[in-house]
């Protein structure tokens, strides 16, 4: 396993554990994070603190809520200056477990040296938009917007 792959998997493990400090140590100061889709679902963040805040506050996607989650599969690929991970996951609001989003995502993690310099998240934001139409009142991020 390459050093890039080790770092990418360390990033994911720290992110899922909610360890902001460990995640931040893996980022360049000027990291860029882009998520497909129009703002408030997608967007772009620049700089370590802005990206950490976006991740911590679940700014991309549908935001914090009482979610159920199933990790279906992940496929990792090592390339010259990046790691690519294809993800299939399912999520639902615990208040409506029969309305499941079956989401497929591709994340490109680009490196500069032994730190993450850029992340691009290619997810199907249309799935989020359709879910939002059905559940806006249950998603705190969108109650005011």
Tell whether 119 is covered by a domain: yes
pLDDT score at 57: 87
What's the predicted TM-score (pTM) here? 0.92
Q: What are phi and psi of 141, to 5 degrees?
A: -60, -30
Tell whether 106 is covered by a domain: yes
State the total domains in the chain.
1
pLDDT tens-digit series, residues 67-101: 999 999 999 999 989 999 999 999 999 999 999 99
* H-only helix segments in the chain: 3-17, 20-25, 48-56, 125-135
Tell whether 27 is covered by a domain: yes
Sign of the CA dihedral running 114, 119, 122, 123: positive
pLDDT score at 23: 97
pLDDT tens-digit series, residues 37-76: 999 999 999 999 999 999 998 899 999 999 999 999 999 9
Tell me the three state secondary structure of residue 20: helix
- Residue 30: half-sphere exposure toward Cβ, Cα within 13 Å: 1
Tell whether 28 is covered by a domain: yes
Burial class (CB in 10 A: 0-12, 13-18, 19+), 16: exposed
Closest CA relative to residue 82, chosen from 43, 112, 103, 60: 112
pLDDT tens-digit series, residues 1-36: 899 999 999 999 999 999 999 999 999 999 999 999
Q: What is the CATH number of the domain that holds 99?
A: 3.10.450.50
Tell whether 145 is covered by a domain: no
Strands across the sheet with 115-123, in order?
43-46, 27-35, 115-123, 101-112, 82-93, 67-78
Instruction: Count CB neighbours of 26 within 10 A.
Output: 19
Q: What are phi and psi of 32, to 5 degrees?
A: -115, 140
Q: Is the pLDDT of residue 133 over 60?
A: yes
Q: Which domain holds residue 112?
A: 3-140
pLDDT score at 71: 95
pLDDT score at 144: 65
């Amino acid at each position: 396993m390459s050093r890039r792959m080790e770092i990418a998997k360390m990033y994911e493990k720290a992110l899922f554990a909610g360890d902001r400090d460990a995640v931040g140590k893996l980022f360049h100061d000027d990291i860029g994070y882009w998520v497909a889709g129009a703002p408030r679902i997608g967007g772009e963040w620049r700089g370590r603190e802005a990206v950490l805040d976006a991740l911590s506050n679940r700014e991309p996607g549908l935001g914090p809520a009482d979610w159920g989650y199933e990790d279906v599969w992940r496929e990792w690929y090592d390339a010259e200056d990046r790691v690519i991970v294809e993800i299939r996951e399912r999520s639902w609001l615990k208040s409506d477990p029969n309305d499941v989003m079956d989401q497929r995502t591709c994340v490109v993690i680009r490196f500069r040296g032994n730190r993450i310099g850029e992340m691009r998240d290619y997810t199907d934001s249309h799935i989020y938009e359709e879910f939002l139409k059905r559940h806006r009142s249950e998603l705190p991020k969108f109650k005011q917007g």
